[in-house]
């Protein structure tokens, strides 16, 4: 029996700060219906899909900050998404800001099965940006102020007839993310992202933003023999240009489907999960070829420590 999973990368265009969640959900429902028309079984939405990318704003009032967070999932504005997806028999992956009952703030993504049940929850591990207001920047990137790092690592779930993992935006730049998932046999990694094209600490990287986006996801797919689905909230959001180029990447590292606009758009691919074996059982047969005893620094050391300079 083949294990072909048809997946829709449901890219969103900009979400303005004033746009109500109910309206964003309407946009998502339109993408869900398009996905159904194209026989998708799983639809992937971006990171922090329900609101504008609020870490660009410096806020001191905790009530204002919390207004961007979801206290329940599904909640009043997201219930229609759960109900419609269940009716259509489509699963989905959704990124949102999570406020837990005991007051923790996470950048979270959930995997919802075709019956509407939440099959998995992932909380972002790698939080980029800064903690304090930095007025010299054209816009802020205050994820490290508003979120706590996810404490649960990178789990995988048996779902959609395969082994599914999740990661969020900046996680995709770190090879450790893919390898930890790869070591659990992952066959599809779902990644939502919001990536401003301008990188204030080193603007020379701006022109390479699109290249780096695909580079890291294609490498992660190939080196771990897994499908990767990367989905953007792109376009000009409140004056900040964000990368689009959502893509579905095969275990070969080749892009199977890609979005071509900066707006709401669906890219669909029929993903044969058995293709993962071509890589997992050959060149990247981990059990045969990996040398974990030689990689100890990866878990023992956080920052780079160059050797001492030789005295002349
Ligand atoms: N959302 C997110 O993680 N964005 C980062 C932006 C670069 S760091 C300021 C990313 O890695 O795409």
Print the SS3 string covering 45-67: CCCCCCCCCHHHCCCCCHHHHHC
pLDDT of residue 64: 98
Helix (H, G, I), strand (E, B) or coil at 7: strand
Q: Is the pTM of this model over 0.85?
A: yes
Q: Is the CB of 55 under 6 A from ligand 1?
A: no
Ligand 1 centre and the CA of 126: distance in Å?
9
- The single-letter DSSP state of residue 241 is E
The answer to whether the beta carbons of residues 226 and 233 sit under 8 Å apart is no
Ligand 1, atom 9, lies closest to the CA of 129
For ligand 1, pick from 48, 123, 129, 232 the residue to mutate: most ligand atoms within 8 Å of CB: 129
Can you list the positions of beta strands (E) in 127-252? 156-159, 162-168, 188-193, 227-232, 235-237, 240-242, 247-249
Alpha helices, DSSP H only, in the chain? 21-37, 62-66, 79-88, 143-146, 175-182, 209-224, 276-280, 286-289, 297-300
Q: Is the CB of 54 under 6 A from ligand 1?
A: no
pLDDT of residue 105: 99
Q: Does residue 237 carry a catalytic annotation?
A: no
Name the catalytic one among 41, 84, 93, 124: 124
User: Which ligand 1 atom lies nearest to the CA of residue 47?
Assistant: 1
Q: Does residue 16 carry a catalytic annotation?
A: no
pLDDT of residue 311: 82
**Separation CA 160–CA 162 (nearest Å):** 5
Tens of pLDDT along the chain (312 residues) come to 789 999 999 999 999 999 999 999 999 999 999 999 999 999 999 999 999 999 999 999 999 999 999 999 999 999 999 999 999 999 999 999 999 999 999 999 999 999 999 999 999 999 999 999 999 999 999 999 999 999 999 999 999 999 999 999 999 999 999 999 999 999 999 999 999 999 999 999 999 999 999 999 999 999 999 999 999 999 999 999 999 999 999 999 999 999 999 999 999 999 999 999 999 999 999 999 999 999 999 999 999 999 999 887
pLDDT of residue 2: 83
Ligand 1 centre and the CA of 74: distance in Å?
26
Q: Does residue 72 carry a catalytic annotation?
A: no
């Amino acid at each position: 029996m083949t294990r072909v999973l048809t997946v829709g990368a449901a890219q969103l265009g900009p979400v303005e700060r004033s746009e109500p969640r109910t309206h964003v959900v309407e946009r998502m429902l339109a993408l869900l219906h398009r996905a159904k028309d194209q026989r998708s079984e799983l639809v992937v939405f971006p990171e922090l899909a329900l609101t504008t990318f609020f870490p660009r704003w410096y806020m001191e009032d905790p009530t204002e900050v919390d207004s961007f967070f979801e206290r329940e999932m599904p909640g009043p504005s997201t219930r229609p998404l759960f109900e419609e997806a269940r009716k259509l028999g489509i699963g989905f992956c959704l990124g949102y800001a999570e406020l837990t009952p005991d007051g923790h703030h996470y950048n979270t993504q959930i995997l919802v099965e075709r019956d509407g049940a939440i099959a998995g929850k992932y909380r972002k591990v790698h939080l980029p940006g800064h903690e304090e207001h930095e007025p010299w920047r054209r816009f802020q990137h205050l994820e490290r102020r508003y979120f706590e790092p996810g404490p649960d690592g990178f789990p995988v779930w048996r779902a959609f007839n395969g082994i599914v993992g999740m990661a969020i935006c900046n996680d995709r730049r770190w090879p450790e993310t893919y390898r930890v998932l790869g070591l659990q046999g992952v066959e599809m990694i779902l990644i939502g992202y919001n990536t401003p094209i301008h990188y204030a600490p080193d603007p020379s990287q701006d022109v390479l933003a699109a290249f780096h986006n695909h580079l890291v996801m294609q490498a992660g797919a190939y080196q771990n023999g897994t499908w990767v689905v990367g989905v953007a909230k792109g376009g000009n959001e409140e004056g900040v240009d964000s990368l689009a180029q959502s893509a579905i990447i095969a275990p070969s590292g080749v892009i199977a489907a890609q979005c071509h606009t900066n707006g709401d758009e669906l890219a669909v691919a029929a993903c044969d999960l058995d293709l993962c074996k071509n890589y997992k059982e050959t060149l990247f047969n981990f059990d045969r070829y990996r040398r974990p005893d030689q990689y100890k620094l990866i878990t023992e050391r956080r920052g780079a420590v160059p050797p001492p300079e030789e005295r002349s």
